[in-house]
């Protein structure tokens, strides 16, 4: 791991509602983050969880109520945005409408006092990098959304900032263009080696692009890790639920031995699951299992095997989703891949089946 590009130390941001001074909203609530040099770091969370506010505090548009923002090890304090070594790509692009694309991209260099002779070539280079060569004479309103997006990117990258902040930069694009731009962004980031801090509420986007992800909810960071950490070992119910699809089965801890726990379910069933913390017997918990980690009528011997009845079948091409009601009336979703030539459904609606999964695939979550 390299140097820290950005660090948040116990940052709090409260907005006092200007109309009624009494009402205080903590948009960001004691957040600490360490973002390494050259990393593609995503802030992921639902609407209103404080992603934008966190980003704006790094950029300097908002000042923390308490806590510190450090960029390249230097505490930022009240440093204004124009003196911070970061650049932002805004969600709505925020291009200067009265300037040409060339003038837009040159703006940052001009402000830095880069010699005129050097500005021209660097603008061309930046436009070429985002695959818009020869567009410098146009006005922003003459470009499509995706093109404007790339201009915004070029305008920020041309300054070679230490850190690039991106606030849902692909939010306004259609799905196909978004996928294309995701790949482009990721490739670009590898090429230029600049630290990217990327805000998104799209979990798939975060999973595919990021080196590490911080999952946020209600102003707090719940978990930080790489894509597979977040997906495979969520540390709380919110993360498990927010990322991907998840079955939650209610139960009561019966016994725990090290990291494996035995959980009693309704209907006298027991399930063996992985448990990271020690929990007193009798505590109500949820067991979380991903649908694709459950099998139907598998011949392999598993730690957990239940009888159930198929209540729904949804065929979606690559997979088939089964809704299965277990003996204790728990409804679970199971996903089976259609990975053999001419795959047919494993069961029909109403059929009695065996659902099995490994203890390793099931996790005990308290909250």
Partner 1 sequence: MSNRRSPWLTLFTFGVYIFLYAPIVVLILFAFNSSRQNVVFESVVNKEPCGVFYWFCALTNNSDAIDAAGNTLTIAITSTILSTIIGTMAALGLQRYTFRLKSFSEVSLYIPIVIPEIVMGISLLVLFNGIFNGLNNAMQLAGDQRLGLGLGTVIVSHIAFSVPFVVLTVRARLHSFDKSVEEAAMDLGANEWTTFRRVTLPMIMPGVLSGAMLAFTLSLDDFIITFFTNGPGSTTLPIYVYGLLRRTITPEVNALSTVWIMVVLIALIVSRRLQRRAA
Ligand X SMILES: Nc1ncnc2c1ncn2[C@@H]1O[C@H](COP(=O)(O)OP(=O)(O)OP(=O)(O)O)[C@@H](O)[C@H]1O
The residues that touch ligand X, with contacts defined as CB under 6 A, are 15, 25, 27, 45, 47-53, 201
Cα separation of 88 and 86, whole Å? 7
**Which one of 32-40, 81-89, 290-298, 304-312 is the stretch in contact with partner 1 (CB under 8 A)?**
81-89
> Within 43-62, which residues bind partner 1 (CB under 8 A)?
59-61
Least distance in angstroms from the C-beta of 55 to Mg ion: 8
Q: Which is nearer to ligand X, 10 or 118 (CB)?
A: 10
Nearest to 312 by CA among 353, 358, 271, 340: 353
Report what 40 binds from ligand X, partner 1, Mg ion, none; CB cut-off 5-8 Å by kind.
none
Least distance in angstroms from the C-beta of 212 to partner 1: 24
Sole binder of partner 1 in the list 42, 53, 54, 87 (CB under 8 A) = 87
Sole binder of Mg ion in the list 52, 88, 203, 256 (CB under 5 A) = 52
Helix ranges restricted to H, 198-267: 203-209, 227-232, 237-242
Least distance in angstroms from the C-beta of 52 to partner 1: 11
Q: Which is nearer to partner 1, 154 or 334 (CB)?
A: 154
Q: Which is nearer to partner 1, 158 or 239 (CB)?
A: 158
Kindly state the number of chain residues that form the binding site for Mg ion, as judged by CB under 5 A: 1
Give me the phi and psi of 104, to 5 degrees please: -60, -50
159 in contact with partner 1 (CB under 8 A): yes
Q: What value, to the nearest 5°, has the Cα angle with vertex 254 and ends 248 and 258? A: 90
> Within 95-114, which residues bind partner 1 (CB under 8 A)?
95-98, 107-108, 111-112
Q: What value, to the nearest 5°, has the Cα angle with vertex 152 and ends 147 and 153? A: 95
**Which are the contacts of 20, defined by CB distance < 8 A and separation ≥ 6?**
none
77 in contact with partner 1 (CB under 8 A): no
Pair type for strands 260-264 and 270-274: antiparallel
In order of 38, 210, 223, the CA distances from 228 in angstroms are 20, 11, 12
Report what 90 binds from ligand X, Mg ion, partner 1, none; CB cut-off 5-8 Å by kind.
partner 1
Least distance in angstroms from the C-beta of 87 to Mg ion: 18
74 in contact with partner 1 (CB under 8 A): no
Cα separation of 89 and 156, whole Å? 7
Q: Which is nearer to partner 1, 94 or 236 (CB)?
A: 94
Expressed in angstroms, the distance from the first to the final Cα of the chain is: 32
Beta strands per DSSP E along 51-207: 66-71, 74-75, 86-89, 163-167, 195-200
**Which are the contacts of 179, defined by CB distance < 8 A and separation ≥ 6?**
none
Chain-centroid distance, C-alpha 108: 29
> Within 137-156, which residues bind partner 1 (CB under 8 A)?
155-156
Site of interaction with partner 1 (CB under 8 A): 18, 59-61, 80-83, 86-88, 90, 92, 94-98, 107-108, 111-112, 155-156, 159
């Amino acid at each position: 791991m390299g140097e820290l590009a950005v660090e948040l130390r116990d940052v709090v941001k409260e907005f006092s509602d200007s109309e009624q001074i009494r009402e205080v909203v903590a948009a960001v609530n004691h957040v600490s983050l360490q973002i390494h040099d050259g990393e593609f770091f995503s802030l992921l969370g639902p609407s209103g969880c404080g992603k934008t506010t966190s980003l704006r505090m790094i950029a300097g548009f908002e000042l923390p109520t308490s806590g510190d923002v450090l960029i390249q090890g230097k505490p930022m304090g009240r440093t204004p945005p124009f003196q911070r070594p970061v650049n932002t790509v805004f969600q709505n692009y925020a291009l200067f409408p009265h300037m040409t694309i060339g003038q837009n991209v040159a703006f940052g260099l001009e402000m830095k006092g880069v010699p005129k002779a050097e500005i021209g070539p660097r603008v061309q280079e930046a436009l070429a990098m985002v695959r818009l060569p020869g567009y410098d004479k146009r006005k922003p309103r003459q470009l499509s959304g995706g093109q404007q997006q790339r201009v915004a990117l070029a305008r920020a990258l041309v300054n070679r900032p230490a850190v690039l902040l991106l606030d849902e930069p692909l939010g306004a694009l259609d799905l196909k263009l978004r996928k294309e731009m995701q790949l482009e962004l990721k490739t670009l980031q590898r090429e230029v080696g600049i630290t990217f801090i990327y805000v998104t509420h799209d979990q798939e986007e975060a999973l595919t692009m990021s080196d590490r992800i911080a999952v946020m909810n209600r102003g707090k960071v719940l978990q930080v890790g790489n894509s597979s950490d977040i997906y495979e070992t969520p540390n709380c119910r919110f993360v498990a639920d927010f990322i991907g699809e998840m079955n939650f089965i209610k139960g009561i801890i019966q016994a725990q031995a090290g990291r494996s726990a035995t959980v009693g379910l309704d209907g006298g069933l027991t399930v063996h699951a992985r448990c990271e913390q020690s929990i007193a017997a009798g505590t109500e918990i949820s067991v979380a299992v991903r649908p694709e980690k459950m099998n139907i009528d598998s011949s392999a011997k598993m730690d957990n095997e239940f009888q159930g009845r198929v209540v729904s079948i949804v065929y979606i091409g690559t997979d088939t989703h089964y809704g299965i009601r277990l003996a204790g009336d728990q409804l679970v979703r199971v996903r089976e891949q259609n990975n053999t030539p001419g795959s047919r459904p494993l069961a029909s609606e109403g059929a009695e089946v065996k659902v099995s999964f490994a203890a390793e695939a099931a996790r005990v979550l308290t909250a």
